[in-house]
Chains A and B, each alone.
Chain A
Amino acid sequence: MVEDKPKQILQNMLNDRESDPTHLLQTLIEVQQAFRYIPHDAIDRLAESLGLGRAFILGVIEFYSFLHLEPRGEYDILLSDNATDQMQGSRLLAELLARQLDVGIGGTRGDYRVSLGYTSCTGMGDQGPAALVNGRAVTRLTSERIDRMVSLIEQAIPLDQWPAELFAVTAGVVRRDIILNSDYSAGAAIRRGLEHGPEALLDLLEQSGLRGCGGAGFSTGKKWRFCAGAEAAEHYVVCNADEGEPGTFKDRYLLQAHADRLFEGMTLCAAVIGARRGFLYLRGEYRYLLETLHKTLQQRRERNLLGHSILGRAGFDFDIEIHLGAGAYICGEESALIESLEGKRGIPRNRPPFPVIQGYRGMPTVVNNVETLANAAMIAQHGPAWFRSVGTAQSPGTKLLSISGDCERPGIYEFPFGTPIGEILAACQAHHTQAVQIGGAAGRLIPPTEFGRTLAFEDLATGGSFMVFNQGRELLKAIDNFTRFFSHESCGFCTPCRVGTAMLVRQLGKVMVGHATTKDLDELATLGTLMRQTSHCGLGLTAANPVLDGLEKFPGIFQARLCSTSFEPSFDLDASLQEARALTGRTDPGAHLEGGGV
């Protein structure tokens, strides 16, 4: 299928790179972009030039949702399928799109003009329903916007000539606190770091009490200190911008509006740990930010904030590369992210050793969230006392929240740690709230009786996702959505997660269609608990949270759907004979089954 011209493109791509196997994933993403799939020729050439096996390369292609072995349409449309998108009517819009374009959901049209499918949350919860068209984010979908897209597609208008408003991503900051209100001056943090030396900077960070903003809350100062103390030929700093937790989009805003702060934080970290290379691992869904991020990096190079002898300090050489993800939630886990950076499938590593000791290429590596690194830069500039002026003793400072769902003002909110959930709900003007999902699909489901609890690592920790459900919502649908999400995103490495997430979907499905009894709820709880006890990484450990929290805090939504018998079949017995009845034309009594359980 690869004709001469594409062959040449492929050759140029390969020539541009050294023959380094860690380039595999980035090259595959480029090939996918250029050809709309990964041709077999490309696999052969990559195998040869990178010295990798075909099976290894196929394994990588099949791991990432955005890489394909079969050609996708010229317009590859993926609709974001998070619970909040669905609440905004995304499923109906998908059907509308499918009808108008005459393509099945999950399929490619015969003329290869268009492909249509669903994808995990694209990080546009405050401006959904959202979609990706050839990787570019389209926001605020309505039936009117769908009509426009269909007409552009049928006229074969190239994507870069589509009206810019379709791609508009607004910042949407509603509440600012010390971080977003304070001024940032480029280079100030690095200068301070260079003046006082790494030790003083580590002290300063530890005094500030800054903790990892990805959700786990590990002390940033400690992490950097461990890494700086690990003897090795190279050290690396990696920014985790794989913001995949459903309902989170605060890093999108930081990358869009404050990338400079983030790069300052990475450079500061490099100065402390002695890194010469840094990586920004950007989730594929945010590739629309790539151009401006590259521009920001270039500006920093021109101002000597990156590159050789940064700010005139001889020997302080550091630069940042941007790596793209390709649609894999698990790559937000730091060790899976490092595997992905190395060009491989994103399978979480055994820990320990932790990345600060053995990370990228086996070298000590700091992996921090976008917000953490940006905060580190601000702390170095304004001092630890400034940061500690808000928040709690154990959770100093503020947290950026991505608020979506049933509230009048969704968007980005900066709240001091220690703020009660009720106050946050009032601020975003949520009414008649039934529940809040804090910390994304992997987080916790909070009922109104717990709205007095606070946003803090010692109470309710969150990576930033805050999804609101009002009393009109069927909460079980959201739980089902999250459970399916994990089943789709499980990396498949360990059995408790690979099999457990699939069984959880089936078992919950039995509840959804009204075939379950109390015994099935016991099974759900047993299964969820087993997954928590035995999974390899955080994904499997938290995948049952929505179900287990639901069972504990909202038992009524499950019980309302139960049968009164002791056990019911998981499917409709008589309906299951319908196809055979049609094929044989039988209507005798033996061609029917009584429903119900025993």
Chain B
Amino acid sequence: MVNKVRIATASLAGCFGCHMSLLDIDERLIELVAQIEFDRTPLTDIKQIGSCDVGLIEGGVCNAENVEVLKAFRRHCNILVAVGACAINGGVPAMRNQYSLAECLEEAYLSGSGIDNPQIPSDPELPLLLNQVHPVHDVVWIDYFLPGCPPSADTLFTFLGELLSGQPIQFAYRQIRYD
């Protein structure tokens, strides 16, 4: 049996929608699983990443943990892919960039409506937030960018299929139009 291609995935500051889209390839998962195996991913619940061929990153970078995870992925993956709008542009989480971090936390934990026992959480278990939400390529080198919110199941399948077969990656127009 040939060595399977090892893939890791992570959702940073994202909504898991890109992961849902990956699952949306439906029965073609079976076809895919013949060729790949998963390393660290929410699908396997493996917590530490090992040496991988491909890493798929959903979501932007909003906190210290995101930075650590992203760097670990870069260290362990030969090819790193930014999947979806948030990884590429920061997306919805980056809407907070027009406010200061203090304004965000004060609104959420101190002065917003319906808050009981107002205080800004400071438990060391919690990752600290960055001043701004960043796209992943601000922190590490990214080899491929797969746009969409989320990229459709078809797009993800085409991308992985062509990547695995060593073909140049090309999409049908319908897979990369968003209106």
Contact = CB atoms under 8 A, between A and B. Distances in A.
A519 B141 contact: yes
B129 A580 contact: yes
27 contacts: A567-B140, A569-B140, A570-B138, A571-B134, A571-B138, A573-B139, A576-B130, A577-B128, A577-B129, A577-B130, A579-B101, A581-B128, A583-B101, A583-B105, A583-B120, A584-B128, A585-B122, A586-B122, A588-B124, A590-B128, A591-B64, A592-B64, A593-B64, A593-B67, A597-B141, A598-B75, A598-B140
Contact of B67 (A573, A581, A586, A588): A573
A-side interface mostly? loop
Interface string B97-113: 00011100100000000
The 7 closest A-B CB pairs, nearest first, are A584-B122, A567-B141, A598-B74, A580-B128, A570-B138, A576-B130, A579-B101
Interface string A161-192: 00000000000000000000000000000000
Interface in A554-598: 566-567, 569-571, 573, 576-581, 583-586, 588, 590-593, 597-598
B-side interface mostly? mixed
B131 interface: yes
B166 interface: no
B131 A576 contact: yes
A236 to B, nearest CB: 39
A576 B127 CA distance: 13
A573 B128 CA distance: 12
A286 B122 CA distance: 57
Interface residues of A, number: 24
Interface in B134-149: 134, 138-141
Nearest to B138: A570
B127 A590 contact: yes
A577 B132 CA distance: 9
Contacts of B120: 583-584
B114 interface: no
B124 A586 contact: yes
Interface of A: 519, 566-567, 569-571, 573, 576-581, 583-586, 588, 590-593, 597-598
Contacts of A578: 131
Contacts of B68: 593
Nearest to A523: B137
A577 B102 CA distance: 12
B121 interface: yes
Contacts of A573: 67, 139
Nearest to B140: A598
B4 to A, nearest CB: 25
Contacts of B64: 577, 590-593
B110 to A, nearest CB: 10
B141 A566 contact: yes
A583 B101 CA distance: 9
B71 interface: yes
A598 B128 contact: no
Contacts of A584: 120-122, 128
Nearest to A515: B138
Contact of B102 (A570, A571, A583): A583
A596 to B, nearest CB: 9
